[in-house]
Amino acid sequence: MPRDIPVGNGELLITFDRLYRIRDVYYPRVGRYNHTAGHVQRFGVWADGRFAWIEEDSWKRELRYKADTLVTDVRLVNETLGLEIICHDVVDSHCPVYFRKFVVHDLSRRARDVRLFMHVDFSIAETAVGDTANYDPVTSGVVLYKQDNYFLLNASDAHKRGIDHWAIGTKRVGGAEGTWRDAEDGQLGRNAISQGSVDATVGFNLQVPPDGQATVHFWIACGQSFRDIKELNHRILETGPDRMMSRTEAYWRLWCRKEPFDTSPLPEPIRDLFYRSQLVMRTQIDNGGAIVAANDSDVTQFGGDHYSYCWMRDGALVAYALILTGQSELSRSFFRFCARCIEPEGYFLHKYSPTGNLASSWHPWMLDGQRVLPIQQDETSLVLWALRKHFEAFRDVEFIKPLYEPLIARSAEWMLRYRDHHGLPKPSWDLWEERRGIHTFTVAATIGALFAAAAFAGDFGEPDRAAAFREAGERMRGALRRHLWHPELRRFARLAVPLDDGTYRLDMTRDSANFAIFAFGALEADDPRVASEMESLRERLWVKTPVGGCARYERDYYQQIERNDIQNVPGNPWVICTLWQAQYLVARARTLDELKQALPLIEWAVRRAEPSGVLAEQFNPHNGQPISVSPLTWSHSTFVAVCMEYLRKFSQLGARREQVPAPGI
C-alpha cells in the first residue's frame, strides 16, 4: 500500500499508509533503522461502548497537509460512532519527537465518553529479538527499548499528564496477535513489563461535551538512552506540545518559501505541488547527507529488499533540484557524503546505506569468467555534473576546495582511463540497473561530467587537466554522434554492445532515458537529432489510455500491468519519464507559446498525485493507481526541477520579448 503524508526532520521519519496507519518509523537515520519492519501500527477509537479501528469501512478519511508545511491535516469521520476527529501529525523540527494532536468533535449532540488507543508494534533495529517494553511510573508513559534505541510513548491534555491505559505483551509468538486486541472493549490490562517479541497499546480518556470538542496530544520521544527520552519528555511538558508543533509549522513555511521565486507563471495546482514536492523531498533526506530514494517498506514483498538507500544517480538529480531552489546546505551535505563514499579509484559503486556503507547490490563482480566493475558509470558522472551546477549557483569556493582533488579530479581522471578505443565509456550497467553495455544515457552524463571537471580544473589553475578533460568530452561527443546515432531510423540507440571487430551492436529499443542527450549538455536541445529522438520517444512511449503518461521503454517488464496490448501500453507511466518530455519542451522553447506546451505534461503529474501531494514512482496504465514505492524522491525532484526550469525560461523569454522593438519604431 503506497505511503502518504510522511513527516520527518532528517533524523526521524514517520510514514503512513492510505488508511492513516503508521507503517514506518526510521530513526536515527532516514532509511535506517525501520523500527516497525513495515508492520501496521494501529489506531482505534472507543465511544460509549462501541469500537472501531481506523482501517474499518465505517471511517471516512481525508489525508492532507497544512499548506506549505510538514504538518498533516487529517479529517476522520465515523457516523456510527458519531465522531469527527481532526488530527495533526508532525515531527519536531529540532528534536527527535513525533507528535499527534487529536481534536475530537461530537456529532451526536450528547456528552461522550471517548477513548483513543494507539498501538505500537516495534521491531527495534529491525528485529523483534530482545526488545523490552515497560510502563514507567515516573513519566506515566510506556518505554520501548533495545541497546541504544529508546522510545517513550506519552500524552497530555489540558487536565492531566500521562497515559490513562496501557497494555504490554507478546506478539507473533505462540499465536499471540498482540495487545491491540485488548483495546476493543475500551480497557487495557496494565501489564507492567514484557520482553522479547513485544508490543504495546496506550489509551487516553476524553470527555467530549454535546456538540463540543476535546483535545489530547500524543507523542513518541526518541533517544539513545533512557536519560535522553526522559529529558526530552520533560522538555515537551515544559515547553508544551502545542507550542512545539506551532514552531515546527512556522519553520517549514519559512523553509519552503525562503527564496522569493515568482511562481505566478505557473497555474495554481502546479504551484501547490511545486512547494509540496520540496517538502516531501526533505522528508527523504538524511541529516548526514544521504538522499534516500524512497522509504516504503511494502516494496520488500516483491524482491526482499527496499529503496531505503542512496543511489548517487538519484541523489545527484535530487541535489540538482535542491540547487535550483536555493537549498544549498542540503546539496553541500550530499556532496560531502559523496566524498566520503567514493572509491579510491574515483568511481561510485551501486548504492549506499544512509551511513555511507556499501548497500546490497545485484551487480556482479565477474561476468563470463572475467572481472568487471560492478558500477553504473552515470552515477559517478552525474555527481560531477550536479556539483558543477551547485558551484555555478553558489560560488562557494571554500566548500569546493577540499572536494576538488578526491571527488572532482580523481573521478574525471578515472573517466579518462575508463574509455574504449573510440573514446566512449567502457561498458557498465544502465540507469535502470538492468543491462550492461555502453548506454546513451551514460555517455551523455559523462560528457556533462567531463566538461564540468574541465571547468573546475580551469578555475583551480590547472590548464593541462582542463584541456585533457575538455578534449575527452569533445571526443566523446563526436563518438556519440558517430556510433550511437542511427541515420536511417533517425534515432539514438539505447545502448551499444562492443563486438570483437571493434564495432558495436546497437539496441534500438526506445528508452525515455535518452532525454539525457540534451539534459546534461551532450547536444543542444534544438539539435535536429535531439528533436527527432524526443519526438520518437513521445510517440512510441506515450501510454494510449485515458491515464496517459510516458513509459520507461518499450516492453518494460518491471511491475508490468498490461501484457497483451504492448503497442498501446508499452509499459506503466512514470512521473520522471513524462516530466523529461516536459523538460525537453522547456529547453527547446524559443517563445512563450512554445514554452507553454510543457504545461499539459506538468499538469499530468499534478493529476497523478495523491490529495496530499505525494507522487509515486509509476502508475497503473488503466486506472491510474500508484504502483511501486510512494513517495519516490526522484519523482518529486523532477517535478521541482522542471518547474524551476520553466520559470527561468519564462523569465528569459519575457525579458527578450520586452527588448524587441514594437512595429514601426
Check if the beta carbon of residue 439 is closer than 8 Å to that of residue 378.
Answer: yes
- Tell me the β-bridge partners of 149: 146
Q: Which three cell numbers stand for residue 624?
A: 491510474
Is the residue at 253 inside a domain? no
In a shared domain, residues 401 and 459: yes
Q: What is the pLDDT of residues 220-263, one digit of tens each?
A: 999 999 999 999 999 999 999 999 999 999 999 999 999 999 99
How large is the average pLDDT for residues 61-66? 98
In a shared domain, residues 567 and 429: no
Number of domains in the chain: 3
d(CA 280, CA 540): 31
Q: What is the pLDDT of residues 407-423, one digit of tens each?
A: 999 999 999 999 999 99
On average, the pLDDT of the chain sits at 96
Q: What is the CATH number of the domain that holds 158?
A: 2.70.98.10
In a shared domain, residues 178 and 99: yes
In a shared domain, residues 400 and 293: no
Q: What is the pLDDT of residues 263-304, one digit of tens each?
A: 999 999 999 999 999 999 999 999 999 999 999 998 887 678
Is the residue at 534 inside a domain? no
Give yes or no for residue 348 having a pLDDT over 90. Answer: yes
d(CA 471, CA 451): 9
In a shared domain, residues 509 and 553: no
- Other Cβ atoms less than 10 A from the Cβ of 421: the count is 8
Instruction: Name the pTM for this structure.
Output: 0.97
Give yes or no for residue 660 having a pLDDT over 60. Answer: no
Sheet holding 198-208, edge to edge: 50-53, 43-47, 112-120, 198-208, 165-170
How large is the average pLDDT for residues 143-150? 98
Confidence of residue 659 (pLDDT cuts 50, 70, 90): low
Is the residue at 528 inside a domain? no
How large is the average pLDDT for residues 206-212? 97
Q: What is the CATH number of the domain that holds 408?
A: 1.50.10.10
In a shared domain, residues 388 and 463: yes
Pairing of strands 491-492, 485-486: antiparallel
Among 496, 523, 550, residue at a domain's last position: 523
d(CA 603, CA 622): 18
Share of residues in the chain with pLDDT > 90 (%): 96
Sorted by sequence, the CB contacts under 8 Å of residue 349 that are 6+ apart come out as 343, 358, 361, 363, 374, 375
Among 468, 493, 523, residue at a domain's last position: 523
Tell whether the torsion through CA atoms of 465, 466, 471 and 477 is positive or negative: positive
Element at 565 (helix H, strand E): none
Q: What is the pLDDT of residues 518-536, one digit of tens each?
A: 999 999 999 999 999 999 9
Q: What is the pLDDT of residues 470-526, one digit of tens each?
A: 999 999 999 999 999 999 999 999 999 999 999 999 999 999 999 999 999 999 999
Q: Read out DSSP for 255-323? A: HHT-S----TTS-HHHHHHHHHHHHHHHHTB-TTS-B-S---GGGHHHHS--S-SB-HHHHHHHHHHHH
Is the residue at 156 inside a domain? yes
What residue numbers bound the domain in which 289 lies? Answer: 267-308+542-653
d(CA 410, CA 407): 6
Share of residues in the chain with pLDDT > 70 (%): 98
In a shared domain, residues 574 and 458: no
In a shared domain, residues 445 and 477: yes
In a shared domain, residues 31 and 68: yes
Torsion of CA 26, 31, 37, 40, to 10 degrees: 60
In a shared domain, residues 192 and 43: yes
Q: What is the pLDDT of residues 154-198, one digit of tens each?
A: 999 999 999 999 999 999 888 888 999 999 999 999 999 999 999
